[in-house]
Amino acid sequence: MPLIAIVDWAASPLDESDAAVERAVIGDAASVKRFLCSSDADFNDEICGADALIVWHNTPITAAGLSRLRNCKVLVRNGVGFDSVDIDAARNLGIPVCNVPDYGTEEVADHAIALTLALCRQLFPLDEEAKRLGWVIRVQPKMRRLRELVFGVVGLGRIGTATALRAKALGFQTLFYDPYLANGVDKAVGIARAKSLDELLERADVLSIHCPLNEETRHLIAERELALMKSTAFVVNTARGAVIKKTAILDALSNHRLAGAGLDVVEDEPLKTHEEAQTPNLIVTCHAAFCSVESKNEMRATSARIARAAVLGNPLENIVNH
């Protein structure tokens, strides 16, 4: 019987050991087995001989690891991003890589807005003050009226659009930058378009990141870009950590060149030191924006459906390395 291997991150497993969601979808088309790995260097002979792999997001898959796969008909990245997989090496080896691009659209957009509201209304400092049994609103200068603010979106894909429409509904003046979208998209969704990233950075009171991580977007936001922003601005990232240079944003926060940041993702996550964790005006949320009971079940079921199709020789959906 074919084997579908579920590869989860050993440091913090997100799957369940019984893989009940996957087994319900795959049925008797293949056997299903879960493995815990820190990287593809941990792949044992059973994984290397599997007919399909479902890989969670914190396990990097390199060219060396891919070259050891003997029977792999598909590698499914259990999530939206696929930057953890060397997709070019997989293509050269004839291994399709698929992702699940739509499962957490609502959750990530909601999470971006939640971080935005926490920053604009200073919920965490106010909560801390109240729980000290105090009642002094020290953060009043940072508390903002939403309809006076420009909400800037980098990347107007599925999640960027969902986030922008939520921000617009809340009364933000919503603006986006995405050089890959055709003219007229701004008219279709009723959101203003910035002509350049610099224009967006200079105008935004809230900057929300929604682009994939690749060679073009790695450190897209670094020292120069942060210096263009208002000192009263907030940065929100629910995309990929390395889109923002970690040292640059932590330094900007520490030196009060930004009013605050809400980061669901950080470069080289998780945070590594107590000094990083104590950065002022920083909210960090464990790469959890995608999480909900519903979204995880949807993601796992979609990944299982793609893996099942592969072992049965049926067409695949969501291939990212044609």
pLDDT tens-digit readout, 180-239:
999 999 999 999 999 999 999 999 999 999 999 999 999 999 999 999 999 999 999 999
Report CA torsion sign: 107, 112, 115, 120.
negative
* Predicted local confidence at residue 11, as pLDDT: 83
Task: Band the pLDDT of 58: cuts 50, 70, 90.
Answer: confident
Catalytic machinery residues? 240, 269, 287
String of DSSP letters for 80-91: S--TTB-HHHHH
Asked if residues 139 and 125 have their Cβ atoms less than 8 Å apart, the reply is yes
Report the share of the chain in percent with pLDDT over 90: 93
- Domains of the chain (ranges; CATH) run 3-101+292-312 (3.40.50.720), 105-284 (3.40.50.720)
CB atoms inside a 10 Å sphere around CB 60: 17
Task: Band the pLDDT of 259: cuts 50, 70, 90.
Answer: very high
pLDDT tens-digit readout, 260-271:
999 999 999 999
